[in-house]
Structure 1
Amino acid sequence: MAKASQDTSKIHFHWTKKVGTEDDDVEQPSTFKQPTSNPSDQQDKKHENIKVKTHVGVPTPRKKLQAVAIARLRAVLTAFGKNRSNPPFGGLLGPRVVGTLFGSRRGHVHFAFQKEPSSPPAFLVELATPISVLVREMASGLVRIALECDKKDNEEKKAARLLEEPVWRTYCNGKKCGFATRRDCGPKEWKILKAVEPISMGAGVLPLTEPEAGDGELMYMRAKFERIIGSRDSEAFYMMNPDSNGAPELSIYLLRV
């Protein structure tokens, strides 16, 4: 019995020691070595946490900046559109303009575009075509007048508007009719425009007292035109018919080619 108890105690002691060593050998790496034995993994996790936090935190101010930039851009475009449709001074034209075609019976055709009946003309040209020829063309049917000018260098092109071009090649219903020249509105032209200012639409003859007027009569035609801007180098003006049926009797095209 003494020997058996000794064996049992030895076995028990051996089992306790063995279990203790296994716990020390097995549990230690699972409880202590995992967090402390790989410092590089902890640094990687820290870097990953930093990256994730940075990635999450940055888009908020970027989105705010983008929203502010878009709002400012829209405000600028809106202001630009308002300035284009409502220019700050009467010299520029809007989508609806007043067109006046006038000249003495034996003289050349003058054509003026005004923003309002009382405003100075933003575009005034003298055509080489006699007004009597143009009247006959309009009596026979539709009239399309095309004014063409040449493109210039980039620097000059940026500075000049299409309505400010000085010289134009003239075509009437596809036939070349010489050249047209841009004119300044002098006292004589302004007096004619003031004389027809009360007339919204119509054609007729006005008496003139100037000796250079020839037979003393001035023919005119006045109407409202719709202005269409195709590009920086093309604009079109269509005479608006009060009946709103059929094609416009007179169309004028400005082209820079």
Structure 2
Amino acid sequence: MGEPNPRANADDTSGKLANPPATPPPPPPPRPVSLLQPSQKKKQKSKVFRAFRSVFRSFPILTPVCKFPTLSGGLPDHTHRGTSSGNRITGTLFGYRKGRVSLSMQENSRCLPALVVELAMQTSVLQKEMASGMVRIALECEKRSEKDKMKLLNEPLWTMYCNGKKSGYGVKREASAEDLNIMELLKAVSMGAGVLPGNSEVEGPDGELAYMRAHFEHVVGSRDSETLYMLSPEGNNGPELSIFFVRI
């Protein structure tokens, strides 16, 4: 037997180092967002309407006294369906089953969210409330002085009530990359409910994100009161949902 050749061993070692193990492929890029900016036409129209209303209010008007039964916070507790006193928008409630539910308001399903509010309620709890047939969510904040006045839906923090019971605090936030991805996935959905595959980094590989999307009538009562009424299709006896934004 001949002596081992150290040069051959060195060559073998260098050959192994020259072929390192393959690295895993990079994760796929995020889904491109093709959502559109909300149109400005309705905003201009609403300004003209507000100007007309302010002039109209200068005339003496006699109005009958009418009292409604109210919930906590002085909100009307009456069924409101199929009227035309407000603008129709797209509203989406979404969230992980064990996480908090969020509300997204869009001009329509193809537009970027105009408002995202994280509500003080777990998604699973809201689903149980919806099964009862009627849900009234009130988001309340304190009135500001005239110099600090801002648009109602720009308020950053809300005290939340669900069917008259205080639930905690709702928080307005900017739409995150995940929010935009969800709205992009649901762009073709005008109404409906279901689940989407969740983000494994948040809820684990088995996490699912539940959503419910519907048309809402957006009614502006005053500078301190706006309401969303969920519109159900004709002849549908599904759950009723109203969301009140008020300054008190």
Secondary structure of the residue that 1:251 maps to in structure 2? Answer: strand
Asked if 1:156 corresponds to 2:156, the answer is: no
Aligned-pair Cα RMSD in Å: 2.2
In structure 1, the residue corresponding to 2:94 is in which secondary structure? strand
Contact (CA 8 Å) 1:225, 1:237: kept in 2 or not? yes
Q: Deviations over 1:21-51 (max 9, x none)?
A: xxxxxxxxxxxxxxxxxxxxxxxxxxxxxxx
With normalisation by structure 1, the TM-score equals: 0.62
Aligned to 2:45: 82
Cα distance, 1:248 vs structure 2:
6.3
In the TM superposition, what is the alpha-carbon distance from 1:84 to its structure 2 partner? Answer: 3.9
Kindly report which structure 2 residues correspond to 1:219-234, keeping only aligned pairs within 5 A, or say none: 219-234=210-225
Greater CA radius of gyration, 1 or 2?
1
Unaligned runs of 5+ in 2: 1-41, 50-85
The answer to whether the Cα contact below 8 Å between 2:138 and 2:160 also exists between their aligned partners in 1 is yes
Q: CA deviation at 1:105?
A: 0.8
Q: Which one has more relative contact order, counting CA pairs under 8 Å at least 6 apart?
A: 2
SS of 1:222's equivalent in the other structure is strand
- Pairwise mapping of residues 161-240 of structure 1 onto structure 2 (< 5 A)? 161-214=151-204, 215-240=206-231
1:255 equivalenced with 2:218 (yes/no): no
Q: Which has the higher helix share?
A: 1
1:90 is matched with: none
1:100 correspondence with 2:78: no
**How far has the Cα of 1:181 moved from its partner?**
0.3
Residue 176 of structure 1 aligns with an amino acid whose one-letter code is: K
Aligned to 1:15: none
TM-score (normalizing by structure 2): 0.64
Deviation at 1:256, TM superposition (A): 0.7
Check conservation: 2:105, 2:114, Cα contact below 8 A. yes
1:124 paired residue among 101, 104, 116: 116
Assess, with a 3 A threshold, how the Cα gap between structure 1 residues 150 and 205 changes in structure 2: closer, same or farther.
same
* Counterpart residue type for residue 240 of structure 1: L
Q: CA deviation at 1:210?
A: 3.3
Match of 2:129 in 1: 137
Cα distance, 1:80–1:195 mapped onto 2, change above 3 Å:
closer
Q: Deviations over 1:42-72 (max 9, x none)?
A: xxxxxxxxxxxxxxxxxxxxxxxxxxxxxxx
**Number of equivalences:** 170
**8 Å contact from structure 2 (residues 133, 238) kept in 1:** no
* Partner Cα separation in structure 2 for residue 237 and residue 227 of structure 1: 5
Q: 1:122 Cα shift?
A: 1.3
CA offset at residue 83 of structure 1? 4.8
Q: Given residue 147 of structure 1, which amino acid in structure 2 is its aligned partner?
A: L
Aligned-partner Cα distance in 2 for 1:194–1:80: 24
CA distance in 1, matches of 2:238, 2:47: 27
Post-superposition offset of 1:209: 3.6
- The CA deviation string for residues 225-256 of structure 1, in whole angstroms up to 9 with x for no partner, is 00111101001110001025669611100001
* Partner SS, residue 192 of structure 1: helix
1:110 is aligned to 102
- Check conservation: 1:238, 1:248, Cα contact below 8 A: no
The structure-2 alpha-carbon separation of the partners of 1:198 and 1:242, relative to structure 1 and needing over 3 Å to count, comes to same
Specify the alignment match of 1:89 in structure 2. none
The 8 Å contact of residues 239 and 248 in structure 1, kept in 2 or not, is answered as: no
**Structure 1 residues 160-202: Cα deviation after superposition (integer angstroms, max 9, x where no partner):** 1011000000000000000000010111110011111111111
Pick closer, same or farther for the CA change 1:243–1:80 going to 2, 3 Å: closer
